[in-house]
Structure 1
Amino acid sequence: MASITEQNDGINRKKSFYRSVPFQIAVAAGVSFTAPGMWDALGGLGAGGAAEPFAVSAANAILYALFAVFCVLAGAINNRIGLKWGLAIGVSDFAIGYPLYGAGLYTNNKTATTWFMIFGSVCCGISAGFFWAAEAAIIIGYPSPKERGFYLACWQTAKASGPIIGGAITLGLNANRETAGSVGSATYIVFIVLMCLGLPIALCLSPASKVWRKDGTRVVVHKHASLWEELRAVVKLATSRRIVLLVPAFFISYFYNPFVSTWLTSYFTVRSRAFSSFFTPFAGICSSFIIGTFLDKQSIHIRTRARIAFATIVIIMTGTWIWAIILQKRFYDNPPVFDWFQGGFGSAYALVFLWTFIGQSFQQYLYWVVGQYTTDLSSLSHHTGILRGLEALGQTVAWAMQSEAGVNHFVSIGMNFGILLIAVIPTWIVVSALDHTHEIVVTEQTGIPGKNDEEEDIVKSGGHTPALSE
């Protein structure tokens, strides 16, 4: 294994690449590629590739309801049992839960059997809650604050690469399907196999205490005395002024996704949906690096960066929902079925592309914002658990709205647009208060005699305490 030797306080320290931040992000990205990436590829088909979206939408509503609960709880549980074991449980269950979900979609596609699809959704919702609370903390907490935008973009790219490769597989297997309907069964088999690769990749992850950053700072973990204290810390954070103000933004950040799934199923042929599954993730990759590069730009004050990025996101999102209203009125008057690159396909598909472009930017932006308000990895785990939990709650409502035949698409458009507007002012208040990162800065020094770990962290950070995160 490659290593780096540095001189620090007169001590030569050999640093293994295996313990570096880039390697940890690569591991997390690899797991994201195999499991949620493949899940997104199925979602990119519209309704998990099924001919009718309603049963799949109901299953997804159950999935996200469980996801919302377990994601918040996992933020506390992971800290209590130790980050290493919390991550192991999350990724292990995740690697099992997602293949079961894929298998459920397969059986529903073959025999219209819904019970196994529901069972797969339950398993997936529980496992995903643990996984996302853990992985979000890794992606934001392991890198130093000035590199978070870049590593968030790398993570989003890996997550998007799953749908790209999965979409290419789907496109190859369904390129001759010129009509609406369900995708071929072989599509699900390939996805399930890829999903199962997540667990062995996840086992390569290092615990936070052994990770080193190139700027010499350390990842700090502050564990509470008991699980009850961890849960109390989560409740305290969840009811804090800052988090309450961010609730609408967390809730709406991925609310659009179920509507996009139904939109694709309703108005696009199988092969045009397969094309969307392959090509649309490039939108998220582009936007992730654009916003990540800007948010890491240290020459611009952090508050200015936050305001400019948020204002741009809101303006583009507003444009997409106005565009959606215009197109939806046209579609209700004369319902289309778009084949690729034919008769109005461009204007309808461009909207799907833009939703992904700006939606991924918004999610990445929110991760970055909460990362600036945390003091250590444990606090960050609480933050990201709440963020992902509320995001999943939003998707629970959104999927439930798509679970009935004859759903009025204007209702979905109106809710997406309306909650976005509600989120603008409270989110602006939060980002306008940004002045610097609150992360505890601990450098790689020898221990301070006579002090426990928490006191030593506070001394090395210049007096910042974990209370700032709450």
Structure 2
Amino acid sequence: MASSHDGSVINHPTASPTKPSFFRSIPFQIAIACGVSFTAPGMWDALGGLGAGGAAEPYAVSAANALVYGLFAAVCIAAGAINNRIGLRYGLALGAIGYPIYGAGLYTNNVAPKTWFLLFGSALCGISAGFFWAAEAAIIIGYPSPKDRAFYLAIWQTAKAAGPIVGGAINLGLNAQTSSKGSVSSATYIVFIVIMCLGLPIALLLSPAEKVQRKDRTLVVVHKQPSWLAEFKAVLSLLVTKRMLLLIPAFFISYFYNGFMSTWLTTYFTVRARAFSSFFTNFSGIISSFLIAGLLDRQSIFIKTRARIAFASIIFILVGTWIWASILQKQFYDAEEPPVFDWFKGGFGKAYTLIFFWQFGGQAFQQFLYWLVGQYTTDISSLSYHCGILRGFEALGQTVAWAMQSEGNANHFVSIGLNFGITILCIVPTWIVLSGLEHSHEITVTAGEGSSTKDQDPDTKA
């Protein structure tokens, strides 16, 4: 441990032993983080994958989700500083508390509608999830060596998707005979709540950052500010930098599609078709996560080039989905009766494939943004600040998206237009940030160093 000139405390772990302890190793840490992601937000996503949290009508649940993300956005930015102070392990554990309460709120709303408890569970989940999302992203980006980040991000995305896949299988098994619109069986919620309760004890198994042992003996640097006030000032200082301001549109739009996708499912699909979607759609996120990881971790390509190729590909997919959505929505509005799609029956393919590619492009975009902020620091504390800001504005976008879906007579073209427009809007500022990336291969941190260095091309200046 050492003090910097500004009074902040930097924890420099001692050199790792030749053979790291399994319980301090990166694979074990990632397994713990992924385990919590599976049990908490994974089950949350499984419920969301049903459309409207499995309810017959999306409006009360959409309002509840807007409350979740509104509180989430407010807490998440500050949580980067708080987690740095209390430690990522406790930030992760604190964040896991609210999810089963939210699940209980959905259960009561389904069996005997009690909006107050649904909103209470949503509020508690929104507050705790702010700590969770800031902590888990910092762990996944900051614990592994920089050259392995995209791979472990893909593992994390797979764990998050595994929750909805398992949950979707449960949904499918319990609701496969329901070939009409409506709500899912109450037993579905009970199973999810039990799984969500496992998140807290699993989170407490995580090792503190300074005790983590990487296989390549590189360090996880922890830089704590001298006071709580200094932590919050550090977050604010980062927030108003040119780079972060330019990235805000991308952060905001990255998960904006999720609210409309939920309403789309509830409006146009039967219960069992929604259950099928909650199971199968998540495979698209796994596929895109590993495809983007293969590019972003490719050491033979310069970082800037990787980033530009990845971003351009993602934008191409996202813009295509919203053009596709506009065409389909026009057809649905022009029909004499709104269509209702049952699995593998007339029109299901063209309507469902859109959902598949929303998830495919959306998860790739998420992974790309986490990788991108990870290029600017190897300090776990700074990564905590970055991730809190990223996920805070991501949550702000979802707040707006879900609030829009809480109106029963909302015009779907408004949601489609906003998703399309903000996606286009984020292109230029994000490209400016990508153009500022170093023309180098990768960030490295070696024993005895407290800052990053670059493995540069011989012809490129530092």
- Interval containing the TM-score (normalised by the shorter chain): over 0.9
- Kindly indicate whether the alpha-carbon contact (under 8 Å) linking 2:299 and 2:442 is maintained by their aligned counterparts in 1: no
Secondary structure in 1 matching 2:20 = strand
Looking at structure 1, the residues matched to 446 and 244 of structure 2 have their Cα atoms a distance apart, in angstroms, of 26
2:194 is aligned to 193
2:380 is aligned to 377
2:445 is aligned to 441
Q: Extract structure 1 runs of 4+ deviating beyond 6 A.
A: none
Structure 2: gaps of 5 or more residues: 1-13, 455-462
Shift of 1:14: 4.5
| TM-score relative to the length of structure 1 | 0.91
2:216 is aligned to 215
- Kindly indicate whether the alpha-carbon contact (under 8 Å) linking 2:30 and 2:140 is maintained by their aligned counterparts in 1: yes
For 1:286-435, list aligned pairs within 5 A.
286-334=287-335, 335-435=338-438
Which has the higher mean CA deviation after the structures are superposed, 285-294 or 432-441? 432-441
Query: Quick one: structure 1 residues 12 and 389, their matched pair in 2 at CA, closer, same or farther if it must change by over 3 Å?
Result: closer
Shift of 1:407: 0.8
- Asked if 1:457 corresponds to 2:459, the answer is no
Shift of 1:439: 5.8
For 1:28-427, list aligned pairs within 5 A.
28-81=33-86, 83=87, 86-88=88-90, 90-334=91-335, 335-427=338-430
| TM-score relative to the length of structure 2 | 0.92
Looking at structure 2, the residues matched to 78 and 93 of structure 1 have their Cα atoms a distance apart, in angstroms, of 10
Shift of 1:442: 3.7
Which residue identity does 1:281 align to in structure 2? N
Looking at structure 1, the residues matched to 19 and 374 of structure 2 have their Cα atoms a distance apart, in angstroms, of 29
Looking at structure 2, the residues matched to 42 and 12 of structure 1 have their Cα atoms a distance apart, in angstroms, of 44
- Kindly indicate whether the alpha-carbon contact (under 8 Å) linking 2:146 and 2:444 is maintained by their aligned counterparts in 1: no
Shift of 1:214: 1.7
- Deviation per CA, 1:256-297: give whole Å up to 9, x if none: 000000000000000000000010000000000000111000
Looking at structure 1, the residues matched to 17 and 151 of structure 2 have their Cα atoms a distance apart, in angstroms, of 29
Shift of 1:79: 1.5
Which residue identity does 1:365 align to in structure 2? F
Shift of 1:95: 2.8
Shift of 1:204: 1.2
Secondary structure in 2 matching 1:340 = coil
Shift of 1:96: 2.3
- Kindly indicate whether the alpha-carbon contact (under 8 Å) linking 1:373 and 1:437 is maintained by their aligned counterparts in 2: no
- Kindly indicate whether the alpha-carbon contact (under 8 Å) linking 2:301 and 2:441 is maintained by their aligned counterparts in 1: no
Shift of 1:93: 3.1
Looking at structure 2, the residues matched to 305 and 13 of structure 1 have their Cα atoms a distance apart, in angstroms, of 33
| Amino-acid identity (%) | 70
Which residue identity does 1:234 align to in structure 2? V
Which has the higher mean CA deviation after the structures are superposed, 194-203 or 403-412? 194-203
Structure 1: gaps of 5 or more residues: 1-7, 446-455, 463-470
Looking at structure 2, the residues matched to 14 and 338 of structure 1 have their Cα atoms a distance apart, in angstroms, of 55
- Deviation per CA, 1:332-359: give whole Å up to 9, x if none: 1221000000010000000000000010
Secondary structure in 2 matching 1:222 = strand
- Deviation per CA, 1:92-136: give whole Å up to 9, x if none: 333321001001001111112110000000010011000111111
- Deviation per CA, 1:51-80: give whole Å up to 9, x if none: 000000000001001101111111011212
Query: Quick one: structure 1 residues 12 and 197, their matched pair in 2 at CA, closer, same or farther if it must change by over 3 Å?
Result: closer
Looking at structure 2, the residues matched to 67 and 12 of structure 1 have their Cα atoms a distance apart, in angstroms, of 40
- Kindly indicate whether the alpha-carbon contact (under 8 Å) linking 2:81 and 2:385 is maintained by their aligned counterparts in 1: yes
Looking at structure 2, the residues matched to 225 and 53 of structure 1 have their Cα atoms a distance apart, in angstroms, of 47
Shift of 1:390: 0.2
Which has the higher mean CA deviation after the structures are superposed, 150-159 or 429-438? 429-438
Secondary structure in 2 matching 1:457 = coil
- Kindly indicate whether the alpha-carbon contact (under 8 Å) linking 1:38 and 1:166 is maintained by their aligned counterparts in 2: yes
- Kindly indicate whether the alpha-carbon contact (under 8 Å) linking 2:140 and 2:156 is maintained by their aligned counterparts in 1: yes
- Kindly indicate whether the alpha-carbon contact (under 8 Å) linking 2:146 and 2:378 is maintained by their aligned counterparts in 1: no
Looking at structure 2, the residues matched to 80 and 48 of structure 1 have their Cα atoms a distance apart, in angstroms, of 34
- Deviation per CA, 1:39-61: give whole Å up to 9, x if none: 00000000000000000000000
Shift of 1:440: 7.1
1:467 is aligned to none
1:3 is aligned to none
Which residue identity does 2:351 align to in structure 1? A
- Deviation per CA, 1:300-329: give whole Å up to 9, x if none: 011000000000001111110000000000
Secondary structure in 1 matching 2:223 = coil
Looking at structure 2, the residues matched to 12 and 45 of structure 1 have their Cα atoms a distance apart, in angstroms, of 47
